[in-house]
Amino acid sequence: MSEDDPFADLGETLSDDAADAESADEGAGGSDVATETDDERDPTVEAAFPYDAAVQRPFYAREDAIETFDSWLNYELERELDERGYRNIVVREMTDALLRTVVEEDLVDEVAARFEQARENAMSESNE
């Protein structure tokens, strides 16, 4: 890691993490790629898209926001999907659905309001 660029090795780290995640997915019960025809596929068991169709991006946020998000994703959303009968739930599918929801539901105003609130909170904390 370079002192000039603390993120210089980020790409290498992300590649290593992706390879580790892929190995874990394969070791946990096989491939995401269906061997049956589309008529035989069970959407409650099979992933919506294979691992290699996903694109991993760096994600920057405060630790408490990430911890809250991870908790919500793993305990609230995954539990809801399980109760609806889905199995083999993978994070990439939940994250993909979340990103599509933010865009498709046009949550610009809500996201902008959270952004403004964070800026205002930071300003009032620095003035104290």
Q: Rounded to two decimals, what is the model's pTM? A: 0.60
Neighbours of 92 (CB within 10 A): 19
Tens of pLDDT, residues 53-109: 888 888 899 999 999 999 999 999 999 999 999 999 999 999 999 999 999 999 999
Query: What's the chain's average pLDDT?
Result: 79
The Cα–Cα gap between 91 and 32 comes to 13
pLDDT of residue 119: 94
Mean pLDDT along residues 42-50: 85
